[in-house]
Structure 1
Amino acid sequence: MGLVDDNKNKEKDAPQESDGEVGDSSFYTTDQDDDNDDERTLHLGPQRTLKEQLENDKDDESLRKWKEQLLGSVDISNIGETLDPEVKFLSVAIVSPERPDILLSIPEDGKPEGLWFTLKEGSHYRLKFSFQVGNNIVSGLRYTNTVWKSGLRVFSTKDMIGTFSPQQEPYTHEMPEETAPSGFIARGSYTAKSKFIDDDNKCHLEINYTFDIRKDWASKD
């Protein structure tokens, strides 16, 4: 997932293909390892429960109001004693104007079996995630995605999702529109790894999967 033609949120100086059938492709190789960024230690101060946060912020009116607005109608008495936020991803949809949404369930172990989905080359699409947040505020939730073809890393991206308070109803977050690469070289099978990480450097989900890019959408999708 996450194959874009523009240069936003990705490395520059991608190699250009000149073969007439290849067309525009966002794929490129890089020697940098984005996973190293996820391993860096972030010093954000001690974690606190919701009750402790509100108590400590009572003298800071602007911060208190921001948190109260973020929390909305959350019942602090039920969840405010838990330190770590719980983020559970329920599904991801591939949304394209060319076809009905492709709804993909996310296994708890983050390892979909076999081919997870197929993208049509050159298609415009968005990723829409559905997830639940419990226990505490999750701050700075972000999405990283790395794609390989034939053992070579051809794409990587990072996107900020945001900060969310705990609630029973699932959240939905739609990513910016992307364009699948096209051409003979772009078609084929890929492996990918997606992560959802917060400001405390906690990985709430890692998905390892395979997908195809073909001339058309798979009829079974």
Structure 2
Amino acid sequence: MDKAENKSALPKNEEEEKQNNGISRKNSEASLLSMDTNEEDDDGNEEEDDDKNVVVLGPQVALKEQLEMDKDDESLRRWKETLLANVDLSEVGENPDPLVTIMNLTISSPDRADLVLPIPFQSGSNSAAFVLKDGSKYCLKFNVTVHNNIVSGLRYTNTVWKKGIRVDYKKVMLGTFSPQKDAYVIELEEETTPSGFLARGYYTAKTKFADDDGKCYLEMDYAFEIKKDWAR
């Protein structure tokens, strides 16, 4: 599928405000590891605060019912027509809950072939799911399927620890996605792993995908390593 077709149905670099739910969504940066250690990260409460600040939007309504309810609101109708341009409404069904599945993660680097990891990662309790080379450029790509209904304000958070000390916390607002047969390919910005002796070693991490309702679609703990060379 063409890369442009895999992105969110709405621009993710703009603030989205709709009268039907009053939500404001803005984009932010994300990375697997950037070694940020600024003072704002020291208390480790960002993820907890995110959960406390979830906007309560009310009960989900089946997609077909939404379209019927909004038929007299021209602005809202046009927005949903744009969002649902590629949706076959005959296959949507009556289930009001969006079904979001994060299928796999691809780690792409110009230094080596793509590494595709099924989710959840298959690694032992004391083993790393993957290895990154220090000082190397990489980007993360997630294959995500959406069925049944629109998922609003899907966001990705990732927290990283080394020897029990948190070294990174990132959150990115991915956007609003309509249901479709094909998976979305969500590509994050290119990053560079830290380099040097102190950067190498064993890390633990937690990745989470949730929406504006606070519904969590994936919460996964795993481990990875940064080494002097790529794993063979």
Given the alignment of the two structures, is residue 100 of structure 1 paired with residue 113 of structure 2, yes or no?
A: yes
Aligned-pair CA distance for 1:35: 2.4
Given the alignment of the two structures, is residue 51 of structure 1 paired with residue 64 of structure 2, yes or no?
A: yes
Aligned-pair CA distance for 1:54: 0.9
Aligned-pair CA distance for 1:63: 1.6
Count residues in correspondence. Answer: 199
* Structure holding more strand per residue: 1
Q: Which moved more, 1:66-75 or 1:121-130?
A: 66-75
TM-score by length of 1: 0.83
Aligned-pair CA distance for 1:37: 2.7
Which residue of 31, 38, 44 corresponds with 1:12? 38
Aligned-pair CA distance for 1:111: 6.4
TM-score by length of 2: 0.79
Which residue of 63, 68, 81 corresponds with 2:81? 68
Counterpart in 1 of 2:137?
A: 124
Q: CA RMSD in A?
A: 1.9
Counterpart in 2 of 1:31?
A: 43
Aligned-pair CA distance for 1:198: 0.5
Counterpart in 1 of 2:209?
A: 196
Which residue of 15, 29, 32 corresponds with 1:2? 32
Given the alignment of the two structures, is residue 217 of structure 1 paired with residue 192 of structure 2, yes or no?
A: no
Aligned-pair CA distance for 1:43: 2.0
Q: Distance in 2 between matches of 1:66 and 1:166?
A: 15
Aligned-pair CA distance for 1:47: 2.0
Which residue of 181, 194, 216 corresponds with 1:168? 181
Q: Between the two proteins, what is the percent identity of the paired residues?
A: 56
CA offsets 1:185-204 (integer angstroms, 9 cap, x no match): 11100000000011111110
2:143, 2:186 within 8 Å by CA — same for their partners in 1?
Answer: yes
Q: Distance in 2 between matches of 1:118 and 1:130?
A: 20
Counterpart in 2 of 1:21?
A: none
Q: Distance in 1 between matches of 2:79 and 2:163?
A: 48
